[in-house]
Amino acid sequence: MLDMPAIREDLKTVYDLAPNPDLAARMSAEYSRMSRVVSPADWAIHAPYVAAINALKRERNAAILAHNYMTPQIFHGIADVVGDSLQLAVEATRTKADVIVQCGVHFMAETSKILNPSKIVLMPDMEAGCSLADSITAEGVAQMRAQYPGAPVVSYVNTTAEVKAASDICCTSANAVQIIRALEADTIIMTPDKYLAQNVAALVPEKRIVWWDGACIVHEQYTAQDIREFREWNPGTRIIAHPECPPEVVAEADFSGSTKGILDYVSAERPARAMLVTECSMASNISDAHPDVEFIGPCNMCPFMKKITLEKVLWSLHTMTTQIEVAPEVADKARLAVQRMIDLSAAKG
């Protein structure tokens, strides 16, 4: 566990991190992208960290890859690339930076390292895990193969490098249907997210999909009753769900898609009011770009994503510690599964 009081004091000996309203005012371009969800007082606190990180990443030739569930200060203030898991994986193969700072959870940093074995990949907090990644091991994949001999294994990117290495191909919530349809097998194993697998199975009835019993702690909390009650209390609101939600929740929604899919849907449809059935920061991060859309309703916060903070990003870049390493023999096998996914996604457009 990181010793944050000690880290905080160490950083203050090198950087001027005191709240600075004048600096915040000069950084109005960054603030304009998050002004609906971050107060001026809070921005004065965060601006010194944002300025220090942006200066240091230029010095280190570093690129910051941030998932859509990051806080607005990270998403809009310091990120060079933002997106869902598929977008971040693709961009990790394209970056010219010497250093990648992964603002997301551990499996995302592993994926970046797998795709860039010669680059330094920093993970600001090694304890930023994932309930899905923690739900299965390579031994679990072997069990599924033994139970369904000959069936290919499609593993969600929300898995460890060892699980990816034991799989035939990876998928994300953005391309899972596309990947499953492209495989010639009639029976397909999907790990570890049972809800994503069930939602894909409903869209690809010609395939027999069997799944591991994993779930996302954020999305499994939503229920169909929640959605029905919310719709009754808020008529006319467009309900948009992530496919990691239970199938009965997805069935009640007006649209279901990955975080990129959600963003594309909101951008195209411009509903007057929308409820995003996903992690809380998603609505916060897209609200300023969609001032005509009122985002309402409950959300669930990911405790793992929220372990990544500006302080930890600055400390990681400052010390160049918290580097991700993946054993070469594991990385080589995992890279095949991830690259197959990327290639298939690109080929099918």
Cα–Cα distances (Å) from 56 to 76, 93, 313, in that order, read: 17, 22, 10
Task: Determine whether the annotation assigns residue 243 to a binding site.
Answer: yes
For residue 216, the tally of other CB atoms under 10 A from its CB is 24
What pLDDT score does 299 carry?
87
Helix axes 310-319, 40-60, angle to 10 degrees: 20
Dist. CA 107–CA 158, nearest whole Å: 6
Q: Do domains 4-129+305-319 and 219-295 have the same CATH topology?
A: yes
Q: Which homologous superfamily does the CATH classification assign to the domain defined by 219-295?
A: NadA-like (3.40.50.10800)
Asked whether residue 299 is marked as a ligand-binding residue, the answer is: no
Q: pLDDT value at position 334? A: 98
Domain 4-129+305-319 has CATH 3.40.50.10800: yes
Report d(CA 23, CA 46) in Å as an integer.
10
Annotated binding-site residue? 204:
no
Task: Quote the Cα angle for 287-77-159, to 5°.
Answer: 80
- Going from N- to C-terminal start, the domains of the chain cover 4-129+305-319, 132-215, 219-295
The answer to the question of whether 245 is labelled as a binding residue is no
Q: CA angle 226-229-234, nearest 5°?
A: 120
At residue 1, the pLDDT reads 81
**Tokens at residue 215, please?**
């779930």
Which residues does the chain have with pLDDT short of 50?
Answer: 349
Residue ranges with strand state E in 25-165: 62-67, 81-83, 99-103, 120-122, 153-156
- Give φ, ψ of 301 to 5 degrees: -95, 140
* Strand duo 273-277 + 255-256: pairing: unpaired
The domain made up of 132-215 has a fold known as Rossmann fold (3.40.50)
Nearest to 120 by CA among 108, 138, 102: 102
pLDDT score, position 347: 74
CA distance 83 to 88: 6
Q: Is 173 annotated as a binding residue?
A: yes
Q: In whole angstroms, what is the distance from residue 300 CA to residue 277 CA?
A: 8
pLDDT digits (tens, 9 = 90+) for 241-266: 999 999 999 999 999 999 999 999 99
Answer yes or no: are the C-beta atoms of 204 and 182 closer than 8 Å: no
Q: Which two structure tokens, joined as six digits, stand for 62? A: 């570093």
- Asked whether 320 and 122 are in contact (CB, 8 A), the reply is yes
Q: Which pair of structure tokens corresponds to residue 221?
A: 């909390």
Q: How far is the C-alpha of 87 from the C-alpha of 303, rounded, in Å?
A: 22
Which tokens is 288 given? 């300023």
pLDDT at site 73: 98
Rama region for 151: left / alpha / beta (φ>0; ψ in -120 to 50; rest): beta
Q: What is the pLDDT of residue 298?
A: 79
Gap between the Cα atoms of 168 and 180, Å rounded = 12
157 in a known ligand binding site: yes
- The per-residue pLDDT for range 21-66, each reduced to its tens digit, is 999 999 999 999 999 999 999 999 999 999 999 999 999 999 999 9
Helix (H, G, I), strand (E, B) or coil at 35: coil
pLDDT at position 348 is 58
- Enumerate residues 6+ apart whose C-beta is below 8 A from 242: 173, 219, 256, 257, 258, 259, 262, 277, 278
The DSSP H or E segment spanning 135 is none
Please check if 284 is assigned to a binding site. Answer: no
Q: How many whole angstroms separate alpha carbon 123 and alpha carbon 118?
A: 16
CB atoms within 10 A of CB 118: 6
Q: Would you state the pLDDT for residue 330?
A: 98
DSSP at 129: -
- What's the one-letter identity of residue 228? R
| Cβ within 8 Å of residue 249, ≥6 positions away | 222, 223, 224, 226, 227, 241, 277
Q: Is 135 annotated as a binding residue?
A: no
Closest CA to 253 of 233, 230, 272: 230
Residue 1's SS3 state is: coil
Q: What is the pLDDT of residue 18?
A: 97
**Measured between alpha carbons, how far is 53 from 69 in angstroms, rounded to an integer?**
19
Query: 158 among the known binding-site residues?
Result: yes
